[in-house]
Amino acid sequence: MIRVQAEDFDVGRELEKLSDGNHGVGGVCSFVGLVRDIAGDKTIKAMTLEHYPEMTEPALAKIEAEAHDRWPLEETLIIHRYGRLEPGDRIVLVAAASAHREAAFEACHFLIDWLKTQAPFWKLEETPDGGQWVDARSSDGRAAERWLADKPQDKPQDKPQDKPKGKPGAAE
């Protein structure tokens, strides 16, 4: 499930939908990203998230499909906000529901890492020195790249029953 919106979201209600009526779900891992009031050594009064609407939803759909190819997931969710947000405001929610907790954790981690490098959003921070566009962090690039090493050579026809090789974590 994908949503791109200016409005806030209700985390509890959104997570509940991932397992609602599906008693095969054993675990739901989620990550909520929030606006901090500090970036480096600067105070942030607010930030404005710009995006490329025609591209955003297809990009998120691709990231979500990739997660389902890699792990046995029951459901996934990506909600990303745009517009002006203040410290403490929610920016993004990603979540993965699976029968198994390792798959839920890894898929959720993958979703946020890939979203940070693949989804067309840009942040403008309001600092005491005026508006500043946030620089992409090389650490985000590395975080996304580590999933490339795990990419299956041949995509299975069905959901893979084995967890991806080379990732940490024990089988459930």
Partner 1 sequence: MKILYFAWLREKAGIAEEDVSPPETVTTVAELVEWMKSRGGGFAEAFADEGMVRVAVNQEHVRTDHPVAAGDEIAFFPPITGG
- Rounded CA gap, 136 and 58, in Å? 21
Which x/- pattern, by CB under 8 A, does the window 62-101 give for its own copies? -------------------------xx----------x-x
Q: How far is the CB of 54 from its own copies (least distance, A)?
A: 28
Which x/- pattern, by CB under 8 A, does the window 98-137 give for its own copies? -x-xx-xx--xx--x------------------------x
Contacts of partner 1 in 101-160 (CB under 8 A): 112, 115-124, 133-137, 140
In the three-class reduction of DSSP (H, G, I as helix; E, B as strand; rest coil), residue 128 is classed as coil
- Rounded CA gap, 45 and 67, in Å? 35
**Would you state the structure tokens that stand for residue 2, as one six-digit string?**
């994908």
54 binds partner 1 (CB under 8 A): yes
Q: How far is the CB of 127 from partner 1 (least distance, A)?
A: 15
- Rounded CA gap, 45 and 86, in Å? 7
77 binds partner 1 (CB under 8 A): no
- Binds 160: which of partner 1, its own copies, none (CB < 5-8 Å by kind): none
Burial of 77 per CB tally in 10 Å (0-12, 13-18, 19+) = buried
CA max distance for the chain: 53
Sign of CA dihedral 146, 63, 86, 45: positive
Report the residue number, 34 or 55, with the smaller CB distance to its own copies: 34
In this structure, which amino acid lies at residue 62?
K
Interacting residues with its own copies (CB under 8 A):
10-13, 15-16, 19, 21-38, 87-88, 99, 101-102, 104-105, 108-109, 112, 137, 139-140, 142-143, 146, 167-172
